[in-house]
Amino acid sequence: QAPAASKQGSGQSLQVMLARAQGPQGTSALSVCPVPEPAQVHPQAHVPCRFCGECLQPCLQVPSPLCPLCRLPFDPKKVDKAAHVEKQLSSYKAPCRGCHKKVTLAKMRVHISSCLKVQEQMANCPKFVPVVPTSQPIPSNIPNRSTFACPYCGARNLDQQELVKHCVESHRSDPHRVVCPICSAMPWGDPSYKSANFLQHLLHRHKFSYDTFVDYSIDEEAAFQAALALSLSEN
Is it the case that residue 121 has pLDDT exceeding 50? yes
DSSP calls for 129-192: --SS--SSPPP-S----S-B--TTT---SB-HHHHHHHHHHHSTT----EE-HHHHTSTT--TT
Q: Where are the domains of the chain?
A: 47-80, 93-124, 145-225
pLDDT at 42: 62
- The single-letter DSSP state of residue 11 is H
CA distance 174 to 167: 9
Most confident of 53-67, 96-110, 135-149: 96-110
Which one has a higher pLDDT value, 173 or 31? 173
Is it the case that residue 94 has pLDDT exceeding 70? yes
Helix, strand or coil, per DSSP, at residue 40: strand
pTM of the full predicted structure?
A: 0.39
Q: Tens of pLDDT along 131-168?
A: 777 666 666 667 788 889 999 999 998 988 889 889 98
138-to-127, 128, 130, 218, 233 alpha-carbon distances in Å: 10, 8, 8, 20, 34
Strand stretches in the chain, DSSP E: 38-41, 49-52, 80-81, 93-95, 102-104, 178-179, 194-195
Is it the case that residue 24 has pLDDT exceeding 60? no
Phi first, then psi: give them for residue 73, nearest 5 degrees.
Answer: -65, 150
Half-sphere exposure of 73 (CA within 13 A, CB side): 4
Confidence of residue 225 (pLDDT cuts 50, 70, 90): confident
Which one has a higher pLDDT value, 32 or 70? 70
pLDDT at 65: 82
